[in-house]
């Protein structure tokens, strides 16, 4: 059987999604070098789509391009976590509040929570966690607000992946997710927003103690 070649316009997207998945599931770790020739061989493409994919990932903040050191997976530290989670604290609870007030469907959030509970490995849980949080804000009624949160979504997932590798806290976070969803489904917009704010804030404080006095204080 001959393999079906990937259409040229799709090659960059194919490589982009593949590299992103490896980063967000911990297969590629912060600081790890990303070599174009090696990635091209792994994905069965030329270096051109790899180069374009890496440029896009640099734009989203998942990788860093350096003239001398080449391309590496972005390092995660307290300052980086603080920047990303400051944005989430400012925007995500308000987006959820609006989602609830619009009585938008939260079926996608419920389904993502179920997948996280049933997940067999860390990678699957991580991806389900991202889907859960996006489902809370995607129907907020303000496309710009949703896009702004989408822009930090991958960076937040990278922070989470690093934190979970050091100190898995799935059960606690799953419990908090269930409470957030319960409040949202009950129509308690303010209560759901407060619970989400506390959830985001407590995670980054546990994972990066250096941010304890800083996150959410600006």
**What is the CATH number for 20?**
1.10.10.10
Question: Are 16 and 50 in the same domain?
Answer: yes
Structure-token pair, residue 38: 């090696």
pTM for the structure as a whole: 0.81
Q: How many Å apart are CA 167 and CA 43, to the nearest integer?
A: 32
CATH of the domain at 183: 1.20.120.530
- C-alpha 214: how far from its chain's center? 22
Strand, helix or coil for residue 72: strand
The Cβ of residue 60 has, within 10 Å, a number of other Cβ atoms equal to 17
Domain count of the chain? Answer: 2
Q: How high is the pLDDT of residue 77? A: 87
pLDDT higher than threshold 80 for residue 128: yes
Query: Residues 33-59: pLDDT tens digits?
Result: 999 999 999 999 999 999 999 999 998
Residue 85 lies in a domain: yes
Tokens for 217, please give them. Answer: 């204080």
pLDDT over 80 (residue 169): no
CA pair distance 210, 218, nearest whole angstrom: 15
For residues 40 and 125, membership in a common domain is answered with no
pLDDT band at 209, cuts 50/70/90? confident
Q: Which of 86 and 126 is assigned the larger pLDDT?
A: 86
DSSP 81-119: HHHHHHHHHHHHHHHHHHHHHTT---HHHHHHHHHHHH-
Residue 179 has pLDDT above 60, yes or no: yes
Provide the pLDDT for residue 211. Answer: 46
**Could you list the residue range(s) of the whole structural domain that residue 88 is in?**
78-210
As a whole number of angstroms, the distance between CA 75 and CA 101 comes to 38
**Co-location of 132 and 203 in the same domain:** yes
CA dihedral sign of residues 188, 194, 107, 178: negative
- Domain finish residue from 24, 49, 73: 73
Instruction: Assess whether 92 and 138 both reside in one domain.
Output: yes
Q: What is the DSSP string of 27-67?
A: SS-TT-B--HHHHHHHHTS-HHHHHHHHHHHHHHTSEEEET
Q: Mean of the pLDDT values across residues 161-187?
A: 87
Same domain, 58 and 86: no
Q: Is the confidence at residue 3, as pLDDT, over 50?
A: no
Determine contact, residues 88/152, Cβ cutoff 8 Å.
Answer: yes
Same-domain pairing of 63 and 91: no
38 and 105 fall within a common domain? no
Segment (H or E) for 66: strand 63-66
Same domain, 31 and 101: no
Decide if 27 is inside a domain. yes
Is-contact 75 147, C-beta < 8 A? no
Average pLDDT in the chain: 88
19 and 84 in a single domain? The answer is no
Task: Read off the tokens for 59.
Answer: 């734009």
Look at residue 84 and tell me whether its pLDDT is greater than 80.
yes
Do residues 38 and 95 share a domain? Answer: no
- Residue where one domain finishes, among candidates 50, 73, 96: 73
Length of the chain as a residue count: 218
pLDDT at 210: 58
On whether residue 165 sits in a domain, the answer given is yes
If asked whether residues 88 and 148 sit together in one domain, one would say yes
Q: Which residue has the higher pLDDT, 168 or 133?
A: 133
Instruction: Indicate if 39 and 116 belong to the same structural domain.
Output: no
């Amino acid at each position: 059987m001959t393999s079906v070649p990937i259409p040229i316009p799709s090659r960059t997207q194919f490589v982009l999604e593949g590299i992103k998945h490896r980063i967000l599931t911990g297969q590629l770790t912060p600081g790890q070098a990303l070599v174009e020739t090696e990635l091209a061989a792994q994905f069965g493409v030329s270096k051109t789509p790899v180069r374009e994919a890496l440029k896009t990932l640099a734009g989203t903040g998942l990788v860093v391009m350096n003239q001398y050191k080449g391309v590496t997976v972005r390092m995660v530290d307290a300052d980086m976590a603080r920047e990303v989670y400051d944005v989430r604290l400012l925007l995500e609870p308000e987006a959820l509040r609006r989602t609830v007030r619009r009585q938008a469907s939260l079926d996608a959030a419920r389904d993502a929570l179920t997948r996280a509970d049933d997940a067999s490995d860390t990678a699957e849980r991580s991806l389900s966690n991202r889907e859960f949080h996006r489902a809370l804000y995607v129907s907020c009624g303000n496309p710009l607000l949703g896009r702004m949160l989408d822009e930090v979504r991958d960076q937040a997932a990278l922070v989470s992946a690093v934190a979970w590798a050091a100190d898995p806290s799935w059960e606690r976070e799953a419990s908090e997710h269930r409470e957030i969803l319960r409040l949202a489904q009950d129509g308690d917009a303010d209560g759901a927003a407060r619970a989400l704010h506390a959830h985001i804030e407590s995670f980054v404080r546990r994972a990066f103690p250096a941010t304890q006095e800083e996150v959410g204080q600006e």
